[in-house]
């Protein structure tokens, strides 16, 4: 049951042969069956019209600068608040560790 099943030498394929027969004699049908009178190339599509260059006015530059400044300030505020929350959490964990250490080291001095 657990022994490998090796095919007998007369049915085993040789290293130079393949088990898949080669594909020969295949003829593909033509792409279309209609008969064209002449071979006229397809017309080349016209190039799209050139887009006008983007022009900034003084007001639009001012709005873009104000928007960029607002984004930087908001992202900076969020990052600083996350750092502050991490620092407060670390400090409170340190205080808890000191209190627990003092309670566990001297249980008879209460």
pLDDT digits (tens, 9 = 90+) for 9-57: 666 666 666 667 666 776 766 677 676 555 666 677 777 777 777 788 8
Question: Mean of the pLDDT values across residues 93-105?
Answer: 92
With H, G, I as helix, E, B as strand and everything else as coil, classify residue 80.
helix
Contacts of 6 (CB under 8 A, 6+ apart): 12
With H, G, I as helix, E, B as strand and everything else as coil, classify residue 43.
coil
Q: How many whole angstroms from its chain centre is CA 15?
A: 43
38 vs 32: CA distance, rounded Å: 15
Residue 46 host element (H or E): none
């Amino acid at each position: 049951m657990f022994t490998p099943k090796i095919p007998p030498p007369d049915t085993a394929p040789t290293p130079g042969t393949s088990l898949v027969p080669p594909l020969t004699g295949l003829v593909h049908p033509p792409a279309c069956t209609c008969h064209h009178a002449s071979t006229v190339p397809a017309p080349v599509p016209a190039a799209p019209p050139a887009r006008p260059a983007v022009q900034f006015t003084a007001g639009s530059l001012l709005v873009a600068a104000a928007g960029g400044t607002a984004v930087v300030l908001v992202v900076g505020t969020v990052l600083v608040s996350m750092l502050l929350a991490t620092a407060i959490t670390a400090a409170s964990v340190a205080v808890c560790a000191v209190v627990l250490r003092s309670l566990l080291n001297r249980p008879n001095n209460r």
